Structures are given as structure tokens and as C-alpha cells.
Amino acid sequence: MSKLNMKKVYESVPQKGFFGHPKGLFTLFFTEFWERFSYYGMRAILVFYMYYEVSKGGLGLDQSLALSIMSIYGALVYMSGIIGGWMADRLFGTSKAVFYGGILIMFGHIALAIPGNTTLFFISMVLIVLGTGLLKPNVSSIVGDMYSENDDRRDSGFSIFYMGINLGAFLAPLITGSAMGYSFHLGFGFAAIGMFLGLLVFIFTKKKNLGLAGTIVPNPLSPEEKKKVFKIFSLSIIVIAVICAAAIPAGYLTFDVFIAFIGVLGILIPTLYFIVMYRSKKTTDVERSRVIAYIPLFIASVMFWVIYDQGATILANYADKRTQLDFAGIHISPAWFQSLPALFIIIFAPVFAWLWIKLGKRQPTIPQKFSIALLLAGLSFIVILLPGYLSGGDSLVSPIWLALSYLIVSLGELCLSPVGLSATTKLAPAAFSAQTMSLWFLSTAAAGAINAQVVKFYSQETEMLYFGVIGGASIVLSIILFMLSPKIQSFMKGIR
């Protein structure tokens, strides 16, 4: 988007009306609240749905396979953000991308809510993957459009927006986790209702609150380019369909092959993306320097999400199989633990937002905040290995240990995720604004692709080694990033 268009968009948005922030933050706050309600509500019970026996309402898949599918699903959800960001940048703008994405997500959850077989399950997964790819990166990009580049409210605004995400993420597992005791499909139905409510908020408030934010196509395709893209897209669909039709019955396209393929894509796609952005004629010299600064932040983000996202796989399984679920006279659903990170962020997000404003120019730099996040992520895994070390690997452990691990990694998330969202909008080349936001979420996709392989090494016997190696790797990377922070900051060319 050109500087002129950025100014036009900024001036069209009412700049007061939501806790001292642009009025459009209300629309995006509640749209994302309900979208995240649907996503985290579904995610909290999905892995249990896959590996629980059919007699208990599940699909009866092998537990190791279920953990890998859960990880690769997370990778695909965020990998599809590249397509969603590109479509917003080149075809119809971020506002329409959010709307279309919400529709697909809602129908995906409706499909999950209908009792069926694995075929219907995978159809629902495809719909949610495509819908999230359209909605997730683009709603965050619209938040960035509402602020000028040097607006001091920017980081605080993203923190408030992020708190909306976590309000939805906190409530949803409590509801769907309770519902899964009756029926998994009832829980998925609540997720569908959540996305429907999010669409209503967006449709009825965007015109008044968002102005031109999200309506301008930054880098539109020419008519000739549209024809070329349509041909490539159509041919790709045909080729994929033919390959699947031939390879699946022959046994060449198995889950393991597919998971390995997505793992390669998780590393290859961001690498190619950085090369394209850096070499583009539309990228200025200052923007190229900022792209270089973004690379170590991206790597740090991948390491952080490798640990964080295991909260929905390894730690979910840990809650189900290794944790004492009768506590203080209450029977705890294993899905309820998925609410803890969001609860901690709701509590501490205002503290961090206040802290960054209070510190002003004295606050840690962006790379330093990332290094703190990596340190905390590593410590969260070190903490969870302690009960096994102290009491042995056979006895059930107190849920307090799991809660403490979630607390530590959640504090790390507050040092990385809202800061990373804000930094991405600052460091993005103008011609790649929405696509660079997709690249930020691609770090989560890369983490999911890595986790799809890593989770295979987890078992009750390897538990201590598993948590120790991964946690230790994060701590080492934290130290390296902290030492490199001044150099990285110099490449940001004035961005803090």
C-alpha cells in the first residue's frame, strides 16, 4: 500500500472510541474474539476426539498418529495464511478476506458437529484450514492499518486486540470441554455458533468503525495476471486430484508421507518468501535491511511455537494420562487445561501493555523481548519434567505442575506474540504488507510441521529426556538471540 493510501485509510478511521484507541478496534476485537472462541473450542477437544475409542464417541485413531495429525493440522491452518495474505494483497483486500474466511470456518465447524466418519472429519479440516488462512492474518493486518507507523498506541492496541483473542480462547475450552462429556459433536456445534456470532459483529459494525481500513487492494493483479493465475490455479487442482486418485489407493500417499511433505514445505515456503521479498524491485533499501532483521525474529518465533503449540498435543495428552484429574473435590476435564494460557494472558496482558508504555524508550528492544520469550518457553518445559524426576514416571502428578508450566510459557507469549504482530506491521515492505503478516503466522506453521515429527518421540518412558532436550534448546537459543540483539536492532533502521 502506498504512503498516500496508508494516510487516506488512517484518516478514514475514527481515532477515538475504544479505550482511547481507534473505534475500529471494537469491531476487530469482537470479530477475533468469536473466531478464536470457535478455533480454540474445537482445538481443545480435537485430539481427544481423534484418539478416543469409537465407543466413547471418538474416531479411534492411534494416539501417536492423532498427535501428529493435530500438529500438521496446526501447520496447515497457518500455512494457508500465505494464500490468504496473497489473495488480500492482490485480489480483494483484507476486509473481504476476513468475511469469506469466516464463512468457510463456520461451515467447517458445522461439518464437525455432524456425526460421521473420518471422511467428513477431513472435509471439515480442509474448510477450517482454508477459512483460517483467509481470516487470521488479514484481521491482524487491518489492526495495523488503523495506526500511523510511529503511533505510540500501536503496541498497546495490539495487546488489547490480543486480549480479545484470549478471552475467546479462555471461555471456549471450558464450554466445549464440558460438552465433550456428553458428545464431541455438541462441543463442535458450540464452535460453529461462535464463528457465526463473529460474522454478525463484523458485518454490522465494519462500515461505521473501520472506514477504508481493509478495503484497498495494495498490489492488485492486472486483467492479464488474473487470467494467468486462474489457469495456474485450475491446473494445480487437476494435478493434485489426479495424484491423490492414483497415489492413495496404491499406498504411496500415506499419513507419514503427507506429514513429511508438509514438514518440508514448512521450512521451504518461508525461505522462498524471504528471498522474494528481499529481491523484489518494489522493496526499498531500507525495507531490505528490515527484512534481514526479521529473519532471526522468525527463527526465534518458530522455536517458541514449537513449545507453545505442544500444549494442544503433548501437554493435552499429559493432562489426560499423567495428571490427577480429581482435585479439590472437582473432576477436571482434560480439555479445561487449554483455558489456562488464555486465562494467564487475560490477567497479565494489561500489565504488559502498561509496562511497555510506562518504560517508553527504556523498554527492551524487540529482539530482547523475543529472547525473554524463548527463555520462559524453555523453562516451562523444564518445570514439567520435575514431577517425573521427583516422584517417578508411573504416578499421577498434581495439576498444579501443569498449570505452572502453562503460566511460564504464557508470560513468554506476552513478550513475543503481540510484540511480533506489531513488529511485523512495522518491518513489512509496503508491497507485501498483508503477505508479511501471513509470513509471521507461517512461523507457527513451521513449528507445527516440526512438531508433527517431534511428538513421535514422546512417551511416558522418554518423558524427562523429551522435555529436557527441547526446553534446553530454547534456553540456548534465547542466550544467542540476546547477544545478537544490538546487531539485529541496527538493521531495523529506526524501528523499535
Q: Give the Cβ contact number of residue 332 at 10 Å.
A: 16
Question: pTM of this prediction?
Answer: 0.85
Handedness of CA 195, 201, 207, 213 (dihedral sign): negative
Per residue in 340-351, pLDDT (tens digit) is: 999 998 898 888
Q: Where are the beta strands (DSSP E) in 324-456?
A: 326-327, 330-331
Q: Name residues whose C-beta falls within 8 Å of residue 400's C-beta, 6 or more positions apart in sequence.
A: none
How far are the Cα atoms of 32, 64, 322, 397, 462 from residue 393, in angstroms, in the given order? 40, 19, 9, 9, 10
Domain positions in the chain are 3-219+251-491
- CATH number of the 3-219+251-491 domain: 1.20.1250.20
Instruction: Give residue 363's region: left, alpha or beta (phi > 0; psi -120 to 50).
Output: beta
How far are the Cα atoms of 172, 190, 344, 409 from residue 351, in angstroms, in the given order? 23, 31, 11, 16
As averages over each run of 10 residues, the pLDDT of the chain (496 residues) reads 57 67 84 93 93 87 89 87 83 88 94 86 91 87 77 76 87 94 92 94 84 76 84 87 80 79 85 86 83 91 95 92 86 93 88 83 88 96 87 81 95 89 80 72 88 89 91 96 90 72
Q: Name residues whose C-beta falls within 8 Å of residue 419's C-beta, 6 or more positions apart in sequence.
A: 155, 158, 366, 369, 370
Distance, CA of 105 to CA of 128 (rounded, Å): 5
Determine contact, residues 50/125, Cβ cutoff 8 Å: no
Distance, CA of 287 to CA of 483 (rounded, Å): 23
Burial of 477 (0-12, 13-18, 19+ CB in 10 A): buried
Per residue in 207-263, pLDDT (tens digit) is: 777 777 777 777 788 888 888 888 888 898 898 888 877 877 777 777 788 888 888
One DSSP character per residue, 371-407 reads HHHHHHHHHHHHHHHHHHHHH-SSS-B-HHHHHHHHH
